[in-house]
Amino acid sequence: MSSAEVLVDAFGRIKEAVSAAVDGLTAQELAHRADLEANSIAWLVWHLARIQDDHIADAAQAEQVWTSAGWTGRFGLPFDPTATGYGQTPEEVAAVRVDSPLLLTGYYDAVHAVTVRYVERLRDEDLSRVVDERWDPPVTLGVRLVSIIADDLQHAGQAAYLRGIVTRAGVQAESSSETVTNS
User: pLDDT tens digits for 16-71?
Assistant: 999 999 999 999 999 999 999 999 999 999 999 999 999 999 999 999 999 999 99
Q: Is 140 helix (H, G, I), strand (E, B) or coil?
A: strand
Q: Is 88 helix (H, G, I), strand (E, B) or coil?
A: coil
> In this predicted structure, which of 67-71, 120-124, 166-170 has the lowest mean pLDDT?
166-170
Please state the pTM of the whole predicted model.
Answer: 0.91
Query: How far does CA 23 lie from the centroid of its chain?
Result: 15
Rounded to whole angstroms, how far apart are CA atoms 96 and 88?
A: 11
- pLDDT of 182 higher than 50: no
Topology (CATH) of 3-169: Four Helix Bundle (Hemerythrin (Met), subunit A) (1.20.120)
- pLDDT of 83 higher than 50: yes
The distance between the two most distant Cα atoms of the chain, rounded to a whole number of Å, is 55
Q: What pLDDT is attached to residue 171? A: 64
